[in-house]
Amino acid sequence: MANNVQLYFDKEDFVRDIVVQFPKSADYFRSRRIDFCCGGNRPLHEAAAERNMDVEELLVDLAQLVADHPDAEEGDSWAVAESADLIGHIVNKHHRYLREELPELKKSVMKVSRVHGESGPHLIEVEHLFGQLMSELLEHTGKEEAEVFPKMINWELGQEDEVLSKLRSSIEELEAEHDAAGDILKKLRELTGDFVPPAHACTTYRMTYARLEELEGMTFTHVHLENNILFPRYTKA
């Protein structure tokens, strides 16, 4: 092995579990285009094979990341936070981000499609997919805040079986919606060539691609917090 750093993870470890244990790894997986939220329920070696990557190289990189950041995210480890605090974080950071960012990003996506759509017809499809994604995400977050999150808090207080049964059914629906949003984001990445604008792109064009990529990253983190940390507290209770 080219590097003598101590390995902290194994190729059989699930991607999602690595991120839960060491949140800083989310940035690394994102940079390598490895899905750690919807697609994180699989061993690292399977994720590496899908991306034609050497799993041993990934393990060395992760070990080096741990060595370089021994206290990384120490104050931001949501795996051990109370559910109410985690829910508050999701609502105040991620839901708020979506409600503020999506309407503004929509304006940019529509402008780029209108101005450059004739020479770049893929931009028309980008506009269509973004509109679908925006509608689904806002409906999704509204459902969580109005129905699902309050039930979670109620179950924490009373631990009633009836509440838990309803929660599990709702969580299945939310996870399916996460998968659907992830599929749209993958299509957007493909259509935009990994969010890389053409050489002739204007400032608005480039800014729109950058904000779409930021939206992808924020959504992956958002889904990770729910699928891999919050939801299992109720589906495995």
76: helix, strand or coil: helix
| Main-chain phi, psi angles of 220, to 5 degrees | -60, -45
Q: Between 231 and 3, whose confidence is greater?
A: 231
The predicted model gives 89-99 an average pLDDT of 96
- Residue 57 half-sphere exposure, CB side, CA atoms within 13 Å? 10
Contact between residue 97 and residue 218 where contact means Cβ atoms under 8 Å apart: yes
**Average confidence score pLDDT of the chain:** 90
- From CA 156, how far away is CA 148, in angstroms rounded? 13
Q: What is the pLDDT of residue 2?
A: 43
43-76, pLDDT tens digit by residue?
999 999 999 999 999 999 999 888 877 655 444 5
Residues whose CB is less than 8 angstroms from the CB of residue 180 and which lie 6 or more positions away in sequence, other chains included? 136
Q: How far apart are CA 11 and CA 24, in angstroms?
A: 18
**Across 71-80, 119-128, 170-179, least confident range:** 71-80
pLDDT at 27 (0 to 100): 81
Residue with tokens 């590097």: 3
Q: Does the structure show a pLDDT above 60 at 188?
A: yes
Distance CA 90, CA 222 (A): 7
pTM over 0.85: no
Residue range 218-223: mean pLDDT, rounded: 93
Element (H, E) at 99: helix 96-116
Q: What's the rounded Cα separation, in Å, for the pair 187 and 110? A: 17
- pLDDT for position 226: 96
Mean pLDDT lowest among 16-20, 50-54, 58-62, 231-235: 16-20
What number is the average pLDDT over the span 198-208?
91
State how far the Cα of 175 lies from the Cα of 146, in Å rounded to an integer. 17
CA dist., res. 1 & res. 6, Å (int): 11
Token readout for 208 is 């729109």
Distances (CA, A) of 110 to 2, 25, 57, 89, 199: 48, 34, 41, 31, 20
pLDDT value of residue 39: 80
Min mean pLDDT across 32-36, 51-55, 93-97, 181-185 is at 32-36
Which amino acid is residue 146, in one-letter code?
A
